[in-house]
Amino acid sequence: MGGKVKAVELAIQCRGLGKRFGKYTAVQNVSFDLPAGTIMGFVGPNGAGKTTTIRMLCGVSIPSEGTAQVLGYDVYKQPEEIKQHIGYMTQKFSLYDDLTVEENIDFYGGIYNLSGETAANDKARTVARINLAERMDQLVASLSGGWKQRVALACAILHGPKLLVLDEPTAGVDPVSRRVFWQIIRQLAKEGMTVLVSTHYMDEAETCDYLGFIFYGQLIAFGPPAEMKAREQKATLDDLFVYFVEREAVDDPRNQRGR
């Protein structure tokens, strides 16, 4: 009691973040703090604004309003620094089918400007982490969806990012591959990487340290999953999700704005 509270290092800090496309407000007033080294699940129905928010935080899309610091960099002033220090994997990740696993990894190493000993070390570390050694000579075209996803993850973390951003990484992947993928993600977080992951799978969301629930472009709840369920007195995340959607389901307010 009375001792100094150690400041928590934040990987993401955003306040009132919003994005308009013309007169349409896709995302509005998103605020949260994500401590470094934690996993945040981002959930919400289709079209809620997950990808739009993620793109602003990755320095890919300039916000229309609000502020955000990602790994200490400002999304308006330092988007290039953000892009260099994060790993970003989307659902439609890009791998070259007619190259081998190793050639794909080397290609991404080139994009990140890795060379010499650093490149060799980064590659060896990544291949070991993702357990890809036995597949290095295989053509990507001949891999299953689950293995392709692991190769895409390898390419996203090759440069040792402090923040890994995954936009629906496991959509359409079989349950066993999903489980393996999440074991890797949790291991990366244990080693200090911060992870922001959007998902429609509540079993995945359940294991995150923090959850953000976005609906009609607004972050309507943020916190540890257990706290969120307790706050609304719901037994499962499925129940909580349905409760939020039914509670908030009026006409999409984004359609009325800006008219």
Q: Is 128 exposed, middle or buried (0-12, 13-18, 19+ CB in 10 A)?
A: exposed
CB of residue 19 to ligand ATP, shortest distance in Å: 8
CB of residue 171 to ligand ATP, shortest distance in Å: 9
Choose which of 8, 9, 16, 47 interacts with ligand ATP (CB under 6 A).
47
Choose which of 14, 18, 50, 181 interacts with ligand ATP (CB under 6 A).
50
| By the rule CB under 6 A, 52 interacts with ligand ATP | yes
Choose which of 46, 77, 137, 176 interacts with ligand ATP (CB under 6 A).
46
Where does this chain touch ligand ATP (CB under 6 A) — which range of 9-17, 48-56, 99-107, 179-187? 48-56
- Of the two residues 119 and 219, which places its CB atom closer to ligand ATP in the complex? 219
| By the rule CB under 6 A, 49 interacts with ligand ATP | yes
| By the rule CB under 6 A, 26 interacts with ligand ATP | yes
| By the rule CB under 6 A, 173 interacts with ligand ATP | no
Where does this chain touch ligand ATP (CB under 6 A) — which range of 21-29, 75-83, 120-128, 223-231? 21-29
- Of the two residues 110 and 253, which places its CB atom closer to ligand ATP in the complex? 253
User: How, if at all, do strands 163-167 and 10-21 pair?
Assistant: unpaired
| By the rule CB under 6 A, 21 interacts with ligand ATP | yes
Q: Which residues of the chain form contacts with ligand ATP (CB under 6 A)? A: 21, 24, 26, 44, 46-52
